Structure 1
Amino acid sequence: MEKLRKSLRFLKNNGLKVKLGKNIRNTYGYLAGTDIERLEDFHCMIADPTIKAIFFAKGGYGTGRLASCIDYELISKNPKIIWGYSDITYLHTAIRQSTNLVTFHGPMLESDVARDDFDHLSKDMFNQLFKRTTLRYSEKIAALNVLVEGKASGKLVGGNLSLLTSTLGTPYEIDVKGNILLIEDVNEEPYRVDSMLNQLKYANKLTKANGIIVGDFANTEPKRSPSLQMEEVFQHYFSSLTCPVMTGFKIGHCLPHFAVPLGAQTTMNTENKLVTIEPGVI
Structure 2
Amino acid sequence: MMKPNRLYPGDTIGVIAPAGPPNLKNLQRAIPVMEKMGLHVKLGSNIDKVHGYLAGTDEERLSDLHDMFANPAIKAIICARGGYGTPRIAADIDYDLIQCNPKIFWGYSDITYIHTAIHHAAGLVTFHGPMLASDVGKDTFDDLSLRQFGQLFQPTTLIYSQLASKLEVIRDGYATGPIVGGNLSLIASGIGTPFEINTKGRLLLIEDVGEEPYTIDGMLNQLKLAGKLADAAGILVGDFSHAEPTGDKSSLTLEQVFDHYFSKLSIPVMAGFKIGHCQPHFAIPFGTNATISTYDKLVKIDPGVE
1:71 pairs, out of 94, 99, 120, with: 94
Q: Which amino acid aligns with 2:157?
A: T
Task: Measure, in 1, the Cα distance between the counterparts of 2:46 and 2:190.
Answer: 26
Task: Measure, in 1, the Cα distance between the counterparts of 2:276 and 2:154.
Answer: 23
Aligned twin of 2:68:
45
Q: After superposition, give the CA deviation of every residue in 1:33-60 in whole Å (9 maximum; x if it has no partner).
A: 0010011111010000000000110110
Say whether 1:114 aligns with 2:137.
yes
Say whether 1:272 aligns with 2:296.
yes
Aligned twin of 1:194:
217
Between stretches 190-199 and 221-230, larger displacement belongs to: 221-230
Aligned twin of 1:213:
236
Task: Measure, in 1, the Cα distance between the counterparts of 2:267 and 2:304.
Answer: 24
Task: Measure, in 1, the Cα distance between the counterparts of 2:33 and 2:146.
Answer: 9
Task: Measure, in 2, the Cα distance between the counterparts of 1:136 and 1:118.
Answer: 21
Task: Measure, in 1, the Cα distance between the counterparts of 2:51 and 2:141.
Answer: 29
Q: Which amino acid aligns with 2:235?
A: I
* 2:87 partner SS: helix
1:233 pairs, out of 253, 257, 262, with: 257
Aligned twin of 1:87:
110
Task: Measure, in 1, the Cα distance between the counterparts of 2:189 and 2:218.
Answer: 12
Task: Measure, in 2, the Cα distance between the counterparts of 1:76 and 1:211.
Answer: 28
Q: After superposition, give the CA deviation of every residue in 1:206-263 in whole Å (9 maximum; x if it has no partner).
A: 0000000000001011114211000000000000000000000000000000000000
Quote how far apart the aligned CAs of 1:100 are: 1.3
Aligned twin of 1:260:
284
Aligned twin of 1:6:
29
* 1:170 partner SS: coil
TM-score for the superposition, normalised by structure 1 = 0.99
Aligned twin of 1:248:
272
Aligned twin of 2:194:
171
Quote how far apart the aligned CAs of 1:117 are: 2.1
* 1:221 partner SS: coil
Q: Which amino acid aligns with 2:91?
A: S
Q: Which amino acid aligns with 2:61?
A: R
* 2:177 partner SS: strand
Task: Measure, in 1, the Cα distance between the counterparts of 2:167 and 2:223.
Answer: 23
Aligned twin of 2:57:
34
* 1:19 partner SS: strand
Q: After superposition, give the CA deviation of every residue in 1:151-208 in whole Å (9 maximum; x if it has no partner).
A: 0010000000000000000000000001000000000000000000000000000000
Quote how far apart the aligned CAs of 1:124 are: 0.5
Task: Measure, in 2, the Cα distance between the counterparts of 1:18 and 1:223.
Answer: 41
Task: Measure, in 2, the Cα distance between the counterparts of 1:265 and 1:60.
Answer: 28
Matches within 5 A, 1:128-143: 128-143=151-166
* 2:291 partner SS: strand
Pairs aligned (count)? 282
TM-score for the superposition, normalised by structure 2 = 0.91
* 2:40 partner SS: coil
* 2:257 partner SS: helix
Task: Measure, in 2, the Cα distance between the counterparts of 1:146 and 1:157.
Answer: 20
Which residues of structure 1 form unaligned runs of 5+? none
* 2:47 partner SS: coil
Quote how far apart the aligned CAs of 1:119 are: 1.0
